[in-house]
Amino acid sequence: MRQFAETVAVVRYTADHPTYVDAIARHPSDLKPGMPAGYCLSAPASG
């Protein structure tokens, strides 16, 4: 159930912020200046 809720939250967020899709689909070194950084997969999970 939690995974479904998180998926819905990401889908709703990307509907309002389409550049976020580019941020999570690309490596951080490939991003243009000013684009959101997205997720850092090497960072420890919190919670």
In tens, the pLDDT along 1-44 reads: 899 999 999 889 888 888 877 777 766 666 666 656 655 555 55
Q: Is residue 45 part of a domain?
A: no
Instruction: Give the pLDDT of residue 47.
Output: 44
Q: Is residue 12 part of a domain?
A: yes
Instruction: Give the pLDDT of residue 21.
Output: 79
What domain count does the chain have?
1
Instruction: Give the pLDDT of residue 12.
Output: 92
Q: Is residue 35 part of a domain?
A: no
Which amino acid would we find at residue 43? A
For residue 37, give the nearest of 28, 46, 45, 26 by alpha carbon. Answer: 28
Find the domain containing 16 and state its range.
1-28
Instruction: Give the pLDDT of residue 14.
Output: 86
Instruction: Give the pLDDT of residue 5.
Output: 93
Q: Is residue 47 part of a domain?
A: no
Q: Is residue 24 part of a domain?
A: yes
Q: Is residue 44 part of a domain?
A: no
Instruction: Give the pLDDT of residue 32.
Output: 65
Q: Is residue 21 part of a domain?
A: yes
